[in-house]
Structure 1
Amino acid sequence: MTATSTLLVHDDAVRANTRHFAALTGRRLMAVLKADAFGHGSIADSVLQSGARSIGVTSIEEALALRRAGVRVPVLSWLNVVDSDIAAAIVAGVDLAVPGPEMLHAIARAGRDVGRPARVHLHVDVGMARDGCPPEEWRALCDLARELRATDLLRIVGVMGHLSCADRPDDDQNARERGVFDAALRTARRRGIVPAVAHLAATAATVTGTGTGYDLHRVGAGLFGIDPSGTSDALRPALTLTSRVVSSRVVAAGTGVGYGLDHVVPRRTALALLPVGYGDGLPRTASHRAEVLVRGRRRPIVGRISMDMVVVDTGDDRIRPGESVTLFGPGDGGEPTVADWARWADTIPHEIVTRIGSRVARVHRTTAPAAETHHQETRHDRL
């Protein structure tokens, strides 16, 4: 069956971005593929072939899916509840982040049950009051980790944190939070905990340099062409979303469009109907502002974005059913970008790319090695 809407994943862009960050970090790169690789799907091979040395995800379920897909490099999972399938993670060799004593005890129990030590990264909250161990509880967590390590129930692989304001490199909070992280490292080392890797920087901190000086960089959004700091022009967007016209009509001036009829066309015009809406991930808050590319020209979406459809004002051009329309892409052809949609919806690009739903077909376009010149397109199920 022919898809009505398609999300084209430009694997060549993902590979180029990964190579950029591998060079920028001296190949100390963890590719963060959480949330189905920021909505980009099965691209683990692409990032690993392009310089990433390890992979980070949020949940154990995501990590196990990577293992089932054949990924054998280190995989870190950092957001789990205490009754997650920790035992399965340990058996699969998945590293686990530890934000507090409850999780550490749960990991030790699971390690005892399966007869294997767990690999853990102690996670300190450096200032976000979100995930990670509060600084005032860090010493106790390190003491407990040292005790459990002595029982051979765990191996302490890393210490990690996350900067809150790295997208603003001049913000004094960055220095304060680095200070908290450095103090946490000193506390751990005084207790005989010498991690193989200390990591603080995500994409923004890597681009701006606010998280440099440690052993590893966790880059997610940047692999897909998103720079939260807005300071880099080296990244390539990696998605193009297209849909196909269901029907079109010509309406008279004064015709209302969509729910509430809160858009009224000012003149006789053509309207094209697209079978894509907020049920597919388009933000409803972009209503009355968003545009699409039709026959090489940007045209406005008019009326409210509905669950399954949007209406586009195409002016004097009556679009034929079946014609392709580009909702967003890299911008090279004048089409709107993910950044444009984020601005129209008053959100961030991360949200736009991760909310595209399962009704939209994913097609991966991979560029062959340098010795070849052809392109190959393949469909992938989500991990």
Structure 2
Amino acid sequence: MRITTELNERLTRVGPGTAMGEVFRRYWIPALLASDIAEPDSPPVRVRLLGEDLVAFRDSAGDVGLLDAHCPHRRAPLFFGRNEECGLRCVYHGWKFDVHGNCVDAPSEPPESQFRFRVGTLSYPTHEAGGIVWTYMGPVDRMPDPPDYEWLRAPAGHLGVSQSNEPCNYLQAVEGGIDTAHSSFAHNNDLSNTSHLRALDTHPRLEVDVADHGFTYASLRRIGGGRIYLRTYQFAMPFMQFRGGLISWQGEPADYPVLHGHVWVPIDDENTAIYNFAYSADPGQPMDPRWFTDHEEEMGRGADHFVEGTHWLKRTPDNDFLIDREVQRTRTFTGIEGVNTQDYAIQTGMGRIVDRSREALGSTDLAISTARRLLLEAADDVAADRTPRGSTPEDHRAMRAGDLLMAEGDDWREMSKDVRQARF
């Protein structure tokens, strides 16, 4: 499918009333990390989501509210509000709102006034799972049940989550994430190491199977000795990827497989919040917390990599992601520290919204073209008031991803059938 300028606009714009904005509003989507509002009556936080400015808070009972960022009285910022006694109180005139947006107190009005019963503020429903506060921003009568991905069912101690923001359109981030071929190049972090499996075959064969959740796709790399390195992925509509298990850690065979994934959530047309998750796939083996800490450091998402108090990296387009040309010449392919940061450098270097009418897709871009086709399909479904693919728990709860080695000539679908089946 050739992406024209008009189709590119349709795929990338996410504000209210846009085609993709209305698609995303038919799914439960991440709004913020639960740890950002960890305690009852803790300070509220700003949230920008699908081009809308919101404020999140956890009330005295532990429930989470996601409200319009501005008080409906005079549009004062609720970010400066007092979080107290099961409500967020605007500091301008004292009006107070509960997690459902109801005005429960308007002390600047006469005591006998019934005005507060006629005034409320925008509130979106929330659901906590997997260390994330999810929200639904669409029509109430079309709201599906909350999400039920396998990683959200991982037992205590099995899951790690993080967030990092990126200054470009969500679709660039999605397409970078589901592009399996680029890892043989951009993430070749030791030019002297030719044993890395993805470096042994830089032009993997891709196959894609469309499914209820979105699609399953496989990359097959010939690595010698009659063996194939198979990576199976899942793309869950509209912007989530599941990746396969860990083969080794620090040069040693892994004691248990760790599965990974990302959710690329539009902040607005030109910025994206990426939620990263990793979980032990073995119900009886929790994930060593040191592994997740080390993994985040390797990705470039360690605690010291962020501007303090934010989810924005210190390495940015403005400082060229601190590229080291000598390291690039002698040690790594990019000269940029952090696998995650390498992706950001390439994706943001395309511009805030890339012009896809000027690109030339190849054989290893099959997952990318399929994702675009399904997103446009979802836009048509929503416009026709049909339920979009992957939006209900029944669509996505049974899947997982996984890597394995197999012999040339084996059927990858049959060989990977068990590793692609959720266990939790």
TM-score by shorter chain over 0.5: no
More helix by share: 1
TM superposition score normalised by structure 1:
0.30
TM superposition score normalised by structure 2:
0.28
Bigger Cα Rg: 1
